[in-house]
Amino acid sequence: MSKRIVSGMRPTGRLHLGHYHGVLDNWVKLQEEYRCFFFAADWHSLTTEYADTSGIRESTREMVLDWLAFGLDPDRCTIFEQSLVPHHSELCLILGMITPVAWLERNPTYKEMQDNLEHKDLSTFGFLGYPVLMASDIIIYKATRVPVGHDQLPHLEITREIARRFNHLYGPVFPEPEALLTETPKLLGLDGRKMSKSYGNSIYLSDNADETRKKIMSMVTDTQRVRRADPGDPERCVAFNLHRLYVPQEKLDEIVPACKSAGIGCVECKKVLAEYVVDNLAPFRSRRDDLAADPDLVEDVLSDGSRKAQEESGSTLAEVREALKF
């Protein structure tokens, strides 16, 4: 069987640099090597946003525009929308019948998210059962690998257990997907916390050059460097996270000693950084503007990709029904 990857993103709107360096950049590389299925996980949005669904469609469009502008190619991978492929929900129902509730309750994210989002009522069947939907999303394409970080390994383990249980009960239909561990830099936001839309500390892929410059100039640096004459330490500097990703090594070799000897000020240093970031992102951003000018593009890509996904998921479901003797 060909090497297959399945991965999805919940549509939360425009993507920021944390998404790019944490996920999207990796997807773009994977599409060259694997048969890839990448999807907008709009049903997953319902698990926490069921009370207000008004932003999901627009968020999906913005997110997929970012995917396309930053390198996902519909000719190299299948890009689709989860809710346009109803087979996921049929498999989810079947897998729900064989998944012990205890497996879901011990999911570490379940309690953690309930605590983090305590202003929302997450005591729903759908929220408890979202790992079953996730398992359906993955195994319906007979994925062999799933790109995950260390913190997501417990989720993948539930998927593997569900696939194993199905195969044990009804016969071998699903491969147990393996983790494709990806080391990704945890990108810090402008204020030094994790970059996140909810903290308002993000640089978006769709920001223009001036917005990007302004945000970078506001970034926290080494807080122990109070005066210009104080020596700094890049290891304590939030902005330096971005230097590592965008500034060429020969320039870093100048900046690091200059910072440590107070030979360069933070304002000047962040100006240098901002120009590298802006130059690096410029071609992608201009492509995004071009793509955004076509109002039908995202819908066309998603409906075309969803049709292709449906062919694959439909043939797996035929095997599932056969195995169940339906």
Contact footprint for ligand SF4 (CB under 6 A): 221-222, 225, 232, 234, 237, 239-240, 259, 264, 266, 269-270
- Phi and psi, residue 179, nearest 5°: -75, 135
User: Least distance from C-beta 266 to ligand SF4, angstroms?
Assistant: 3
**Distances in Å between the alpha carbon of 67 and those of 138, 162, 281, 313, 318?**
20, 30, 14, 23, 31
If we measure between CA atoms, which residue out of 161, 155, 187, 191 comes closest to residue 174?
Answer: 161
When the beta carbons of 140 and 238 are compared against ligand SF4, the nearer one is 238
User: Least distance from C-beta 8 to ligand SF4, angstroms?
Assistant: 36
- Classify each residue of 294-314 as buried b or exposed e, where b means 16 or more C-beta atoms within 10 Å of its C-beta: eeebbeebbeebbeebbebbe
When the beta carbons of 86 and 231 are compared against ligand SF4, the nearer one is 231
When the beta carbons of 62 and 222 are compared against ligand SF4, the nearer one is 222
Q: What is the SS3 assignment for 77?
A: coil
When the beta carbons of 204 and 240 are compared against ligand SF4, the nearer one is 240
When the beta carbons of 157 and 191 are compared against ligand SF4, the nearer one is 191
User: What sign for the dihedral angle of Cα 97, 101, 103, 108?
Assistant: positive
**Distances in Å between the alpha carbon of 322 and those of 90, 131, 140, 325, 326?**
14, 24, 15, 5, 6
User: Least distance from C-beta 258 to ligand SF4, angstroms?
Assistant: 7
Beta strand 178-181 pairing with 35-40: unpaired
User: Least distance from C-beta 17 to ligand SF4, angstroms?
Assistant: 17
User: Least distance from C-beta 193 to ligand SF4, angstroms?
Assistant: 17
If we measure between CA atoms, which residue out of 217, 223, 310 comes closest to residue 270?
Answer: 217
When the beta carbons of 67 and 240 are compared against ligand SF4, the nearer one is 240
User: Least distance from C-beta 269 to ligand SF4, angstroms?
Assistant: 3
